[in-house]
Amino acid sequence: MLKTKTPGDVLAYAEEHRCRLVDLKFMDFVGQWQHFAVPLHELTADTFEEGFGFDGSSIRGWQPIHASDMLVVPDPATAVIDPFCNTVPTLSLICNIVDPVTHEGYSRDPRHIAKKAEAYLKRTGIADVAYFGPEAEFFIFDDVRFDLTPNASFYAVDSDEGIWNSGRGDRPNLGHRPRHKEGYFPVSPVDQLVDLRHVMVQTLESVGIQVEREHHEVATAGQAEIDFRYGPLVDMGDQLMWFKYIIKNVARLHGKTVTFMPKPLHGDNGSGMHVHQSLWRDGKPLFAGDGYGGLSEMALHYIGGLLKHAPALCAITNPTTNSYRRLVPGFEAPVNLAYSSRNRSAAIRIPMYQASPKAKRLEYRTPDPSCNGYLAFAAMLMAGLDGIENRIDPGEPLDRDIYALSPEELSDVPSAPGSLEDALRALRADHAFLLRGDVFTEDVIDTWIEYKTEKELNFVRTRPVPAEFMLYYDV
């Protein structure tokens, strides 16, 4: 790995590894990596300031066609060798988006928003770094098919590891499959994906991502989790994109397919993205103290901000209609807007594994891996900072089993929104905290709500689904 990353270092690194192409990656507004490549001779020290031009009107949620010219400006600190470009050695650089006229960062570039959130944190004087540690769960399938026409729709996913294949007629059928909700985590041969996850781990570490553990997750049919070490906000946004890119490509090279959809299976656990977070200043942790769960007053106020703004945050941290197939009250998803030490049925858990002040953090469990990491981390930070700045009381912790509470007791515990429509409505009503320091802008909020409503919410809610035929065809 390249340690020092000035433009000159990057150029020398590329020559040392005999790179011939440079892949320029950037995040679109919604949350997908985009890219194009240039020959290495096109990358000079000047291009790290001048950038490369492209058509911004072809990127989802970005420029109108009459103002389409934009620049991608490579960040030299992100240089790595792309592990999937084996035919031609290729240098990979993550880029920022810049307006070619003003030369300012583009307000709808998610990475730019994340950078502004880090800058705002420092300006507050509260802390100088926010650490985030996402745990993005995913499914590994052997086959996926879906289609949508005016008169028909269907989806079908399959995994040799799925318990539904226990009665399959072909031979040999070797059994040894995790039953529903029993994938966490027996050894092979029940866990059939050990070798594949190990290849994923090695590939992640080849681009500088420090993996902490990997394992099968709770659901049958290949649900998995690979955890990597926490880091500063923008770095974690970068690493989450590398994570998804590597996991999907390793699976494809082995004849399998990966999805980060929150709820691809009915009747089994969905995929969440629990996000560990903490604030530090001058190299010292700020969330350790003598309050509840070993937390400081600052950390409790941060929790208060997350819980207060959680309905609005869901529009960003749980941004798909499928997100709300997972966030259903009465099941295991963390829809209850409360906090607790060790209690995984609460939206915020205080991990109690380690006593060290440096390990003291909170785990926000509501988000899922369909989100745009840059926007989600920035929004969570802004909500937490609002809690600190306004000394928001998080209320009493929820240390009881949520499923043992009576309806009367449960009525006092607020819940996450029940649909994307509800979450977008909450964001419309509650987003002033995101606008501080010009981190998010009214244009970003309006564009996000408009895009999600027109391109996703309306697309789904105007179409009948097979379950409705099961329920209503004979009415």
Residues noted as catalytic = 55, 135, 137, 217, 225, 274, 344, 363, 365
Looking up tokens 């681009």 gives 207
- Helix or strand (DSSP H, E) at 10: helix 7-16
Spatial separation of the C-alpha atoms in residues 33 and 10, rounded to whole Å: 22
The token pair that represents 220 in the structure block: 């049958």
Spatial separation of the C-alpha atoms in residues 203 and 258, rounded to whole Å: 16
In angstroms, how far is CA 469 from the centroid of its own chain? 34
CB 443 within 8 A of CB 107: yes
The token pair that represents 166 in the structure block: 């226990």
Residue 383: phi and psi, rounded to 5, are -65, -45
Q: What is the DSSP letter of 443?
A: H
User: Three-state SS for 66?
Assistant: helix
The token pair that represents 430 in the structure block: 């509650």
CB 327 within 8 A of CB 272: no
Taking alpha carbons only, the member of 79, 80, 58, 82 closest to residue 70 is 58
Burial class (CB in 10 A: 0-12, 13-18, 19+), 435: middle
- Helix or strand (DSSP H, E) at 37: strand 33-39
Burial class (CB in 10 A: 0-12, 13-18, 19+), 43: buried
Quote the Cα angle for 275-418-316, to 5°. 40
Spatial separation of the C-alpha atoms in residues 125 and 316, rounded to whole Å: 26
